[in-house]
Amino acid sequence: MKSFYLPLLISFSLFIIPACNPGEKSAPINTTHQGAGGLLMEYQVNYCEWTGEKIETVRYGALIKSGKTNHYFKSVECAIAWQLAANNKSDSENLLVVDFIHGKKLIPAVDAIYLQSTLRPSPGKLYISALEKSNTFMLGRVYEAYPGTFLEWDELVEFVKKEWGTTPVSPKAHQIN
């Protein structure tokens, strides 16, 4: 009977011990990175250009590409406010937003529809979640869980203007160093 357990124990340990090995640890990347699903947002690394706070909440965030510079935001509403304050307008041309469904995948802002639901708080505090338009099945599922109003890009910009003003003032401007 003991001879039966020995081979079993050896083969079990061959599978379990390598699985427990943490392997090499990599340093966090200070930008977005290309993943299997496309461009992905890095959390706990970058700071929001609008608020100055670390970007922490998975499923939210935005990135504006400006030449060789990337501007990171903790939510799409923060990105819109930043654009409004800088240019007195907001456009989706160089703006990527995190797809709420995927959690980290950045998609062009024009490929998203925006759910405004008080049941789903966002880091920008306007309850906005960006969802990839083409994923109609999941749009329905998310709406069932968090009923609210779907907004197109122009409607979202007007909503942010209505809530924060046409030339919002960054919370960073009020911080004491």
Q: Which of 32, 36, 34, 107 is nearest to 72 (CA)?
A: 32
Q: Which of 143, 171, 155 is nearest to 81 (CA)?
A: 171
> How confident is the model over 30-71, as pLDDT tens digits?
445 554 456 788 899 999 999 999 999 999 999 998 888 899
Q: What is the pLDDT of residue 17?
A: 46
Query: 150 forms bridges with which residues in the sheet?
Result: 115
Q: What is the pLDDT of residue 28?
A: 39
> How confident is the model over 61-97, as pLDDT tens digits?
999 988 888 999 999 999 999 999 988 677 788 899 9
Which pLDDT band, with edges at 50, 70 and 90, does 24 fall under?
very low
d(CA 173, CA 171): 5
Q: What is the pLDDT of residue 120?
A: 96
Which pLDDT band, with edges at 50, 70 and 90, does 176 fall under?
very low
Could you identify the residue written with the tokens 């990527």? 96
Inform me whether the pLDDT recorded for 101 exceeds 90. yes
pTM, 2 dp: 0.76
Q: What is the pLDDT of residue 35?
A: 46
How remote is the C-alpha of 115 from its chain's centroid? 14
Amino acid identity at 136: T
Average pLDDT, the chain: 82
β pairing state of 112-116 and 128-132: antiparallel
CB 64 within 8 A of CB 80: no
What one-character-per-residue DSSP string does 57-75 give? -TT--EEEEETTEEEEESS
